[in-house]
Amino acid sequence: MFGFAALTGSALSVSASVSTAGPVPIESFAKQQAVFHPTISHDGLYLTYSVLADAYYRDFAVAIAFRNLVTGKINAVPSGTYEVAFNPRWVANDRIVYGDLSGIDRDGKNYAGLNGFALFAGGSGLHAAADDTRINTGEIIFRRFTGNKEGNILMLLYDDSRQDAKSGWSYPDVINMNTRRSLNIMNITPALKNPGKVVGWLADNNGVVRVGVEHDQGYSKAIFRESENAPWHTLPGLDHVKPTLGLQGISADDHTLYVSIPAPSGTWGVYAYDLQKQQLGDLIAGHDHYDILRNGVRVDGHSIDQIVFAPKTREILGIQYITDVPKVVWFDPTLAAIQVALDHGRPSRVNSIVDMSDDLKKFVVLSWGANDPGTYYLFDLDKKKLQPLFAIMPWIKPEQMAEVYPISYKSRDGLVIHGYLTVPPGKEPKNLPMVVLPYDGPLGRSSWGFNRDAQFLASRGYTVLQMNYRGSCGYGEEFLEKGLGHIGRELQDDITDGTRWAIAQGICDPHRIAILGSGNFGGYCALMGLIREPDLYRCGIDLAGITNWRSIAKNHQDVLEYNSAMFIFGQREVVDLLGDDGKDDMSLSVISPVVYVDQIRAPLLLVFNKDDLSQTYKQTRFLRDALDKAHKHYETAKYKGEPDALLFDDRVDLYNKIDQFLAANMTP
CA distances from 640 to 124, 183, 440 (A): 19, 33, 20
- What gap in Å lies between CA 521 and CA 44, rounded to an integer? 43
| DSSP 8-state assignment for residue 594 | G
In this prediction, residue 404 carries a pLDDT of 97
**Least confident piece of the model among 124-138, 291-305, 359-373:** 124-138
CA distances from 602 to 269, 528, 636, 657, 659 (A): 44, 12, 14, 17, 17
| Parallel, antiparallel or unpaired: strands 604-609 and 539-545 | parallel
Quick check: helix, strand or coil at residue 236?
A: coil
Q: Beta partners for 283?
A: 271
Tell me which residue of 420, 471, 407 sits closest to 441, measured CA to CA: 471
Crossing angle of the two packed helices 490-504 and 520-532, in degrees rounded to 10: 70
Please count the other Cβ atoms lying within 10 Å of the Cβ belonging to residue 122: 8
Greater model confidence, 328 or 569: 328
Quick check: helix, strand or coil at residue 632?
A: coil
Quick one: how far is CA 406 from the chain centroid?
A: 19
Percent of the chain with pLDDT over 70: 85
Q: Beta partners for 188?
A: 177
72 pLDDT above the threshold of 50: yes
DSSP per-residue letters across 448-481: SS--HHHHHHHHTT-EEEEEE-TT-SSS-HHHHH
Greater model confidence, 338 or 216: 338
In this prediction, residue 553 carries a pLDDT of 74
Crossing angle of the two packed helices 556-566 and 615-629, in degrees rounded to 10: 110
In this prediction, residue 556 has a pLDDT band, given cuts at 50, 70 and 90, of: very low
Angle, CA 327 vertex, CA 266 and CA 444 arms, to 5°: 55
Q: What's the 3-state SS for 568-591? A: CCCCCCHHHHHHHHHHCHHHHHHC
Quick one: how far is CA 132 from the chain centroid?
A: 31
Cβ(207)–Cβ(228) under 8 Å? no
- CATH 3.40.50.1820 intervals, the chain: 398-665
Q: Which CATH class is domain 398-665?
A: alpha beta
552 pLDDT above the threshold of 90: no
Digit-coded pLDDT (tens) for 311-329: 999 999 999 999 999 999 9
In this prediction, residue 77 carries a pLDDT of 85
Digit-coded pLDDT (tens) for 365-399: 999 999 999 999 999 999 999 999 999 999 999 99
In this prediction, residue 113 carries a pLDDT of 82
Digit-coded pLDDT (tens) for 641-650: 777 778 889 9
Q: Is residue 566 within a helix (H) or strand (E), and if so which, with residue range? A: helix 556-566
Question: What strands, in cross-sheet order, belong to the sheet with 306-309?
Answer: 306-309, 316-322, 326-330
For CA atoms 333, 334, 339, 344, give the dihedral sign: positive
Residue 653 makes CB contacts below 8 A (sequence gap 6+) with 637, 639
Tell me which residue of 470, 466, 336, 459 sits closest to 402, measured CA to CA: 459
Quick check: helix, strand or coil at residue 33?
A: coil
Tell me which residue of 278, 270, 283 sits closest to 309, measured CA to CA: 270
In this prediction, residue 236 has a pLDDT band, given cuts at 50, 70 and 90, of: very high
| Parallel, antiparallel or unpaired: strands 539-545 and 508-519 | parallel
Cβ(169)–Cβ(571) under 8 Å? yes
Phi and psi at 467, nearest 5°, equal -140, 150
Mean pLDDT of the chain: 86
Please count the other Cβ atoms lying within 10 Å of the Cβ belonging to residue 187: 18
Largest CA distance in the chain: 73
Please count the other Cβ atoms lying within 10 Å of the Cβ belonging to residue 132: 5
In this prediction, residue 520 carries a pLDDT of 86
Digit-coded pLDDT (tens) for 2-39: 232 322 222 333 333 444 467 899 999 999 888 999 99
Burial (CB count <10 Å: 0-12, 13-18, 19+), residue 266: middle
Tell me which residue of 395, 356, 396, 409 sits closest to 379, measured CA to CA: 356
User: Is this model's pTM higher than 0.85 or not?
Assistant: yes
CA-based radius of gyration for the chain: 25
Residue 233 makes CB contacts below 8 A (sequence gap 6+) with 223, 224, 225
In this prediction, residue 278 carries a pLDDT of 96
CA distances from 317 to 144, 244, 307, 320, 660 (A): 18, 25, 8, 10, 50
- What gap in Å lies between CA 88 and CA 239, rounded to an integer? 36
For CA atoms 311, 315, 317, 318, give the dihedral sign: positive
Quick one: how far is CA 23 from the chain centroid?
A: 29
Q: Beta partners for 200?
A: 213
Tell me which residue of 426, 435, 452, 541 sits closest to 498, measured CA to CA: 435
589 pLDDT above the threshold of 80: yes
Tell me which residue of 474, 468, 139 sits closest to 297, measured CA to CA: 474
- What gap in Å lies between CA 225 and CA 307, rounded to an integer? 23
Question: What strands, in cross-sheet order, belong to the sheet with 350-356?
Answer: 350-356, 362-369, 372-380, 385-391
Greater model confidence, 551 or 643: 551
